[in-house]
Amino acid sequence: MPANLISLIIAVVSAVAAAISVIFAWKATRAAERSNTIALIAGLHQLYHSEATFRATQRVWALYRHYQGKDADEHPITDRQAQQFVAETDRFSDDWKAVHDATSFWRYLNLLVNQGFVDEPIAFGAFSSPRILGFLYPIENAFVGEGGLAYEESLRSLYDRWKARQV
């Protein structure tokens, strides 16, 4: 056999082996991404179902109902109500801590959705109703102030995306 033919056979075998290696590497990467996503969702689930988050969520719903009455599930609080809450609530009170804890959870979830780590159906279906954002985003706006957060980073953007899915 001439040397050129042997070199050609070796090159073809090497190319096929490289292609097979790329396929296996791609499948391993997909499996790792899937495992990471599952672990992330499990961690979010564990955080959401912690005692602290449960109590914060319950307290925020009570505050929401206090400001909105029976319409708490239908409409966000007004800017005026949010400004009143921010102005009158002691920063060391249980109410403030509950709003802070609930806001932190939803802002973290918003970040993960924006980065593509969590899909919207999971974000909007695996945890308490996103209606709670109707209380949290006006408080966030009143506390941070106009222009304090980019829209995509705000809870308002998460609320708006959720509302758009409701139609």
Per-residue pLDDT, 147? 66
User: Which mean pLDDT values do the consecutive 10-residue runs of the chain (167 residues) have?
Assistant: 80 88 88 82 86 93 87 80 94 96 93 90 87 95 82 92 88
Query: For the CA atoms of the chain, what is the radius of gyration?
Result: 25
**Identity of the residue numbered 18:** A
Q: Is 149 helix (H, G, I), strand (E, B) or coil?
A: coil
The CA distances from residue 21 to 29, 33, 56, 71, 97, in Å, are: 12, 18, 50, 58, 52
So what's the pLDDT on residue 161? 94
- Residue among 96, 150, 85, 158 nearest 127 (CA): 158
pLDDT (0 to 100) of residue 1: 64
Nearest residue to 130 (alpha-carbon basis) of 89, 165, 100, 95: 165
What pLDDT was estimated at residue 107? 93
